[in-house]
Each structure stands twice: as structure tokens, then as C-alpha cells.
């Protein structure tokens, strides 16, 4: 006989403002349960978890927790007030029989000493402290709301192992697909105020959800056809006495009411990046760049070449220098030694990891329009701000909402809306997946796949890296960085899964051998031919760029092919020829410029 549930929520109702958030939601947690709680941003997942934790009283429904059951809850925004140190806070979650050493060990594993002042912690540090507090007693039920936020890859992989080893029940909210897939054995979908359960892990959820929504659409179509048939009978189906059937009149009214009140699925984000004119074939090149902060070297002798269309991920533990490397590659930060060259015609748009670019007092509309009326410029064209907001799942009533009142997911969508409105051929995304729901992540991945430019992305989301990246730049420690082809899984295979990471520290440069008697010494400056090419190539590139612009302008005529097919073919061939010549000229100029600086240095 199966053990009775430890926690039960039944017919739970909750209204946020004037919006019904939960309309009969249910949750059953049995001993040892591993449950993924999924749903759109704003669907009420965190609210349902708070009700399950006993921190929020529902407006209707029943909550029952078996007597003697220990439950711990990790909120998205933990409150550490009232505690002198982080260790005091972590120990406050322990019961009389729990081991205090475990709390200390967990804090240390999460990068905290325990002596920190809670009032001085960053948001990420506060969440790590709350995670240690929730895990320390090894509770019967563990409720976790986005536990991987602000954790780096090593910490996420450690947390996976730690949670997998626990014997208690788990209810987990996360945007990290791989984390959900690894840890869940059942899935609870919160959609339009109600819950639906799948007794299989998250790995099978998305296919099941698609089937469910398709069946819903088929049912709606059948309902519409049934209404049409009943309306036809109402008009033309007359009995001998010409009396309408009262029962069928009532049935038609019920059908119409069912159609009127049917809750439709929430709309989808419409996400498209505004693209600028194409960049050159070579977007950026770094040659032996080094950067140190004080005595600590964060980037040591790193070289790379990034071409148009590449999707490059930058990964490593927190503090490894990912943002420093990104800023050097994009020209925002000068290296201490070495050089970075950016290609021609770069138009960059970036997404700020720390959300510092958002003024919490500004309204959503003013943030998108920069305070200039009700128009937002998207790819150089004006659009009404409310229409653009709706592309990112904001409702018109939110136009005057202060940014500080938005949820984390809504702020993430707002930053994406701002970044994608600016014309670009280089997108720089620093932790773009933070706080985004799974559907929005899908669309972001799709958009990046269709984007014609180049993408640089810092992320701790392994599934996102696998789906998006063509190569990864990985921190190997001590300031050393190594580039691997493929996504995160490919990188693991190349480094050796289950094997200690191979040593990739760069060997010191060999001392050049002295020239043999009778041989010429190495050149100390550019040859006459190289110097001449370096001086004349910029004018050549400018001329080719002007010719390309003229050819593109001609080919933009939609009637050119039908009016002059031979001319269309000739100009298309000429455009391809000049674009190839420009790419070759850019490559040669960059090579010569680097050679010149190396010789002069």
C-alpha cells in the first residue's frame, strides 16, 4: 500500500490585484517525490510554492501537511534580517537533532565563510546562504524556487549531485532544462490558473504539453462546428407545430457560454533582432592578450579569431574573468599586453547581466522609448510602444508600470526588447537566460539561430549553450582560456568526461635560435611591399564598400529581375565578387597591422 501524501493542496484559489492567478490548483507531494513545477512567467508558480510552504494564505482551497513532516523552502528573494552572521542564519533552519557541521560545510561549498554580515550580501550571496539553510537539515520536503540563479557551472553541477543524493521529496522551479531533466520524475504544469500532472520527468514534458495544446485546439474546433450545427437547426429545423425544442435551445446557450469562457493559452513572445548592414567576414581577432587585476592574472596570452556568423559562448566559474574577457574582445577594455582588432562595419548591441541599465523609477514605456513620446524605433522604423510591448508579452496596462515593480522574468524580457530593437550585426549577451521562462528561452534560441550576425554569450545554462553555440571559450584556471568546437556537451567530450581536466597552460615562447653564419638575420620591419599594402588597403576597402553599397541598392529593386534578368544576374555576381574581395582585403590588412605592431613592439 502506497504511503499517504506528505503535503496536499486542493482547489487552491488566489487573486493578484484584479487578476485570478490560481483557480483550483492542486499539488500532491508523496514521500521521495521528485516534482518539476513548470509554467509561464507570471502563471503563479512562486505563489503556489509559497502557499505550499505555508508562507501565504490562499483565498480558497485546502492545504494539509502531515504532522511531524519537516519542510524547507528556498524563496527567490530570501530575507536574512535579524541574524548577526550568515552562519547564524543557516543554523536557524536546523532542528534539535540536525548536525550544525553540515550547515557550515554547505556554506563553504557555496563560497561563503559564515562570518559575513547578512546586510552586506549581494543578491546572489543571499540566495546561496538561503540554499545552505534549506539543504542543511535534509528535510522531508524541499521546495526550491530557481535554485541555480546566480550559481556558476561548477556550483550548479555540485548542487545537482547534492540534491540527487537526498532522500526527501523535492518540488523544483527552474529555467535550467538540464537541471530539471536530471532531478525530476514527475511534472506539474501550472497553466491558466489550473494544474495538470504528468507522471514522467521534465524530459518528456514538452512533447506532452504540445500534444495537450493540440488536442485543446481540436476540441475548440469541434465546439465551434457543433455551435454552427445547432444554430442552423435553430433557424431551419422546425417541427410540425413550428415549436422550437426548449432542451436544444438550452444546449446551444450552454455551448456558446463554454466557448465564451474558454481560457485560451497565453500568447507567445514575438522575438526578432533588428539587423544592421552585414559586418566583414572577420569580426574580431585577439592576439596573445593578457589582463591582470593587481597581482591576479585573469586572462593570460589568449588568442582567437571570431568570424561572421559564429556563436561563441564564454564559460567558467564565477570570478574567472568571463566579463573581463568579453569586454576586451569587444573593445570596451584594453588588454595589458597583446592586441584586439575589430573588423569593419561592426554594429553591436548588448544585454547587461546586472540589469544596471534599467532605472527602477522609469516606466516600462519610457524605458523602451527613452522618454521620447510613444514611439520605439525598431530596425530604424517607428512602432507604437504598446504594440512592441505586446510582442514581449506585456499587456497595454503595464505601459506606465515602474520598472522596479516588474518581476525578474519581466525585467529580462524588457532588456531583451531593448537590446533587440537596436540594429546590430554583433549581439553580446551576458547571462541572457536569467529569469526567463522555458517558452521565452525557446524563442530566444530560435531568434539567435535565425540571426544573420555574430553572437557572443556568457551563460551558465548548459542546455542553452548546447542549442546555440558553435564554439566555447572555457576558463581552465590561472588565467588560461581554451577554445573548443561545439557546445557544452562537446566541450566535456573534448576535455574528457569523468577525467581530470587536461593541462592546457601555454608553454613559454621558445627563445629564437641565433642565425647561422652566412644566413640573414630576421627582418625587424615590414618589407617595402608589405608597407605599401598596409598603406593602400584602407582606400581599397573603402572603395569596395562603396561599390557593394551601390550594388545592394540596385538589387533592392523588387522589379529588377523581371525587368532585366541578365542585369540582375550580372550585379549579383559582381556583388559576390566584391564582398569576397573586401573580406580578403580586411584579412590581409589585419594581418599586416598585427605584424607591424609586433615588430615595432
- Considering 418-422, 457-461, 539-543, the range whose residues carry the highest mean pLDDT is 457-461
Q: With contact defined as beta carbons under 8 Å apart, do 432 and 421 qualify? A: no
Assess whether pLDDT exceeds 50 at residue 9.
yes
CB atoms within 10 A of CB 68: 7
Q: Report residue 600's pLDDT band, with 50, 70 and 90 as the boundaries.
A: low
User: Exposure of 81 by Cβ count < 10 A (0-12 exposed, 13-18 middle, 19+ buried)?
Assistant: exposed
The answer on pLDDT for 41 being more than 60 is yes
491 DSSP assignment: H
Domain ranges of the chain: 7-207, 208-261, 282-495, 528-600
User: Is 282:590 a contact under the CB 8 Å cutoff?
Assistant: yes
Return the closest-CA partner of residue 495 out of 515, 477, 467, 476. 476
State the DSSP code for 291.
Answer: E
Cα–Cα distance between 312 and 314 in angstroms, integer?
7
Give 597's pLDDT tier (boundaries 50, 70, 90). Answer: low
CA distance 293 to 327: 14
Closest C-alpha to 463, from 250, 180, 210: 180
Domain 7-207, classified CATH 3.30.565.10, yes or no: no
The CATH architecture to which 282-495 belongs is 3-Layer(aba) Sandwich (3.40)
Strand partners, 315: 474
pTM of structure: 0.67
User: Are the C-beta atoms of 430 and 285 separated by less than 8 Å?
Assistant: no
Q: Report, as an integer, the average pLDDT of 175-193.
A: 92
Q: Looking at residues 122-145, what average pLDDT do you find? A: 91
Q: Tell me what percent of the residues of the chain surpass a pLDDT of 70.
A: 82
How far, CA to CA in Å, does 336 sit from each of 167, 326, 481, 505? 51, 15, 16, 19
C-alpha distances (whole Å) from 230 to each of 155, 240, 241 are: 61, 19, 19
**Consecutive H or E run containing 573:** helix 565-600
Residue 306 · residue 329 · CB < 8 Å: yes
Q: How confident is the model at residue 279 (pLDDT cuts 50, 70, 90)?
A: low
pLDDT of amino acid 62 = 94
Angle at 22 between CA 21 and CA 25, to 5 degrees: 160
Q: How far is CA 472 from the centre of its chain?
A: 16
Topology agreement, domain 282-495 and domain 528-600: no
Q: What strands lie across the sheet with 141-145, from one edge to the other?
A: 71-74, 141-145, 169-173, 34-38, 186-191, 194-198
- Fold classification of 528-600 is Helix Hairpins (1.10.287)
> Quick check: 388 pLDDT over 80?
yes
| Each residue's pLDDT tens digit, 205-245 | 988 988 888 887 777 777 667 666 655 554 444 443 344 44
pLDDT of residue 494: 81
**pLDDT band at residue 511, thresholds of 50, 70 and 90?**
very low
Residue 194's SS3 state is strand
Q: Can you name the residues that pair with 484 across neighbouring β-strands?
A: 472
Q: Where are the alpha helices (DSSP H) in 184-271?
A: 205-236, 246-261
To 10 degrees, the CA torsion angle through 476, 477, 479, 484?
10
Q: What is the spatial distance between Cα 465 and Cα 443, in angstroms, rounded to a whole number? A: 14
> Within 13 Å and on the Cβ side, how many CA atoms surround 588?
18
3-state secondary structure of 93: coil
DSSP per residue, 113-127: -S-S-GGG--HHHHH
Q: What is the mean pLDDT of the chain?
A: 80
What is residue 510's predicted lDDT score, i.e. its pLDDT? 35
Q: Is the pLDDT of residue 74 over 80?
A: yes
Task: Please give the share of the chain, as a percent, with pLDDT higher than 90.
Answer: 30
* Cα distance between the two ends of the chain: 79
**Nearest-angstrom CA–CA distance, 542 and 552:** 15
Dump pLDDT digits (tens) for 422-456: 778 888 988 888 777 777 787 788 778 878 889 99
pLDDT digits 0-9 by tens, 104-118 = 999 998 888 999 999
At residue 380, the pLDDT reads 67
Amino acid at each position: 500500500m502506497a504511503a499517504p501524501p506528505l503535503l496536499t493542496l486542493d482547489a487552491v484559489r488566489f487573486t493578484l490585484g484584479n487578476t485570478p492567478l490560481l483557480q483550483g490548483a492542486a499539488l500532491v507531494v508523496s514521500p521521495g517525490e521528485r516534482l518539476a513545477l513548470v509554467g509561464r512567467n507570471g502563471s503563479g508558480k512562486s505563489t503556489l510554492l509559497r502557499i505550499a510552504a505555508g508562507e501565504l494564505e490562499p483565498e480558497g482551497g485546502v492545504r494539509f501537511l502531515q504532522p511531524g513532516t519537516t519542510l524547507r523552502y528556498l524563496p527567490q528573494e530570501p530575507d536574512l534580517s535579524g541574524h548577526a552572521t550568515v552562519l547564524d542564519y543557516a543554523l536557524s533552519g536546523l532542528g534539535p537533532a540536525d548536525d550544525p557541521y553540515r550547515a557550515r560545510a554547505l556554506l563553504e561549498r557555496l563560497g561563503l565563510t559564515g562570518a559575513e554580515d547578512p546586510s552586506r550580501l549581494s543578491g546572489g550571496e543571499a540566495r546561496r546562504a538561503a540554499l545552505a539553510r534549506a539543504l542543511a537539515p535534509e528535510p522531508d520536503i524541499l521546495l526550491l524556487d530557481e535554485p541555480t540563479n546566480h550559481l556558476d557551472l561548477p556550483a550548479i553541477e555540485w548542487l545537482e549531485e547534492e540534491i540527487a543524493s537526498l532522500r526527501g521529496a523535492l518540488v523544483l522551479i527552474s529555467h535550467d532544462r538540464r537541471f530539471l531533466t536530471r532531478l525530476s520524475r514527475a511534472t506539474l504544469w501550472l497553466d491558466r490558473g489550473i494544474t495538470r500532472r504528468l507522471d514522467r520527468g521534465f524530459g518528456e514534458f514538452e512533447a506532452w504539453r504540445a500534444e495537450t495544446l493540440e488536442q485543446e485546439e481540436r476540441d475548440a474546433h469541434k465546439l465551434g462546428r457543433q455551435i454552427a450545427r445547432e444554430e442552423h437547426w435553430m433557424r431551419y429545423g422546425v417541427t410540425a407545430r413550428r415549436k422550437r425544442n426548449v432542451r436544444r435551445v438550452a444546449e446551444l446557450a450552454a455551448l456558446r457560454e463554454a466557448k465564451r469562457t474558454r481560457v485560451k493559452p497565453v500568447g507567445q513572445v514575438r522575438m526578432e533582432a533588428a539587423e544592421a548592414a552585414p559586418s566583414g567576414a572577420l569580426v574580431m581577432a585577439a592576439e596573445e592578450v593578457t589582463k591582470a587585476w593587481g597581482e591576479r592574472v585573469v586572462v593570460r596570452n589568449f588568442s582567437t579569431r571570431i568570424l561572421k556568423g559564429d556563436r561563441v559562448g564564454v564559460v567558467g566559474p564565477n570570478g574567472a574573468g568571463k566579463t573581463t574577457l568579453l569586454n576586451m574582445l569587444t573593445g570596451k577594455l584594453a588588454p595589458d599586453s597583446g592586441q584586439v582588432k575589430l573588423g569593419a562595419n561592426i554594429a553591436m548591441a548588448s544585454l547587461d547581466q546586472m540589469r544596471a541599465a534599467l532605472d527602477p523609477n522609469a516606466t516600462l514605456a519610457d524605458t523602451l522609448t527613452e522618454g521620447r513620446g510613444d514611439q520605439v524605433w525598431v530596425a530604424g522604423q517607428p512602432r507604437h510602444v504598446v504594440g512592441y510591448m505586446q510582442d514581449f508579452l506585456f499587456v497595454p496596462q503595464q505601459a506606465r508600470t515602474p520598472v522596479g515593480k516588474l518581476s525578474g522574468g519581466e525585467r529580462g524580457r524588457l532588456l531583451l526588447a531593448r537590446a533587440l530593437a537596436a540594429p546590430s550585426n554583433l549581439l553580446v549577451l551576458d547571462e541572457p537566460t536569467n529569469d526567463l521562462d522555458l517558452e521565452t528561452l525557446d524563442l530566444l534560441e530560435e531568434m539567435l539561430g535565425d540571426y544573420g550576425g555574430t553572437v557572443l554569450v556568457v551563460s551558465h545554462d548548459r542546455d542553452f549553450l548546447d542549442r546555440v553555440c558553435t564554439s566555447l571559450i572555457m576558463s581552465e584556471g590561472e588565467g588560461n582560456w581554451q577554445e573548443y568546437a561545439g557546445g557544452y556537451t562537446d566541450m566535456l567530450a573534448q576535455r574528457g568526461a569523468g577525467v581530470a581536466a587536461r593541462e592546457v597552460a601555454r608553454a613559454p615562447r621558445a627563445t629564437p635560435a641565433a642565425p647561422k653564419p652566412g644566413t640573414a638575420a630576421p627582418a625587424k620591419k615590414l618589407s617595402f611591399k608589405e608597407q605599401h599594402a598596409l598603406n593602400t588597403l584602407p582606400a581599397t576597402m573603402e572603395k569596395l564598400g562603396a561599390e557593394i553599397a551601390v550594388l545592394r541598392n540596385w538589387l533592392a529593386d523588387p522589379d529588377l529581375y523581371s525587368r532585366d534578368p541578365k542585369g540582375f544576374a550580372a550585379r549579383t555576381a559582381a556583388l559576390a565578387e566584391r564582398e569576397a574581395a573586401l573580406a580578403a582585403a580586411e584579412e590581409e590588412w589585419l594581418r599586416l597591422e598585427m605584424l607591424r605592431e609586433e615588430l615595432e613592439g
